Structure 1
Amino acid sequence: MPEAPKELVPAKVNAKALFLVGTTAWLIALLTLGVMHLAERSPDGRYAWVAVAGIALGAAGYWWAHRVHLIDDQGMSE
């Protein structure tokens, strides 16, 4: 009879770095869209709002993780 699969344990991630990298990626996307707009090659304006939403949600997630103490002093999730 085969062995039962072992239960997976949650990965420990650096939540602080994860939020910062994600928010930075959205900021770069917004800056890229701004440069495209200045070069008169602007795509649909809704893309900029998506990037703004990503920045706002990333900042809110960063604040929330610290507020409810989901990360320790080194930024690792608990």
Structure 2
Amino acid sequence: MRDHPRQELRPAKVNAKALFVIGTSAWLLGLLTLGVMHLAERTPDGRYAWVCVAGIVLGAVGYWWAHKVHLINDEGMSE
């Protein structure tokens, strides 16, 4: 084994605003897909819709919380 000192990795800076928006949009798209399936009378288990709603609500709350505790700067980048 080598005796090199290990370097600590710094946290990655990501665009958290875009991450929340993309994730919440994906849950919204899933909910819309389930709605279309319902209209086409190919309804899957109704609990899937609740999972999508929970994803949308948690994404919106996460977006708000990240701004509230200043985890996101004005450009949307995590700090």
Q: Into which bin does the TM-score normalised by the smaller protein fall? A: over 0.9
Structure-to-structure mapping, 1:12-27, within 5 angstroms? 12-27=13-28
**Whole-angstrom distance in 2 between the partners of 1:70 and 1:37:** 39
Q: Which residue of 2 aligns with 1:33?
A: 34
User: Normalization by structure 1: what TM-score?
Assistant: 0.95
Structure-to-structure mapping, 1:1-78, within 5 angstroms? 1-78=2-79
User: Hey, which bits of structure 1, 4+ residues long, moved more than 3 A?
Assistant: none
Give the SS at the match of 1:63: helix
The alpha-carbon deviation at position 5 of structure 1 amounts to 2.4
The alpha-carbon deviation at position 8 of structure 1 amounts to 1.0
**Whole-angstrom distance in 2 between the partners of 1:12 and 1:75:** 10
Paired positions, count: 78
Could you list the per-position Cα deviations for residues 3-36 of structure 1 after superposition, in whole angstroms to 9, with x for gaps in the alignment? 1322111000111000000000000000000000
Listed as ranges, the gaps of 5+ residues in structure 1 are none
- Percent identity among equivalent residues? 76
Listed as ranges, the gaps of 5+ residues in structure 2 are none
Could you list the per-position Cα deviations for residues 41-65 of structure 1 after superposition, in whole angstroms to 9, with x for gaps in the alignment? 1110000000000000000000001
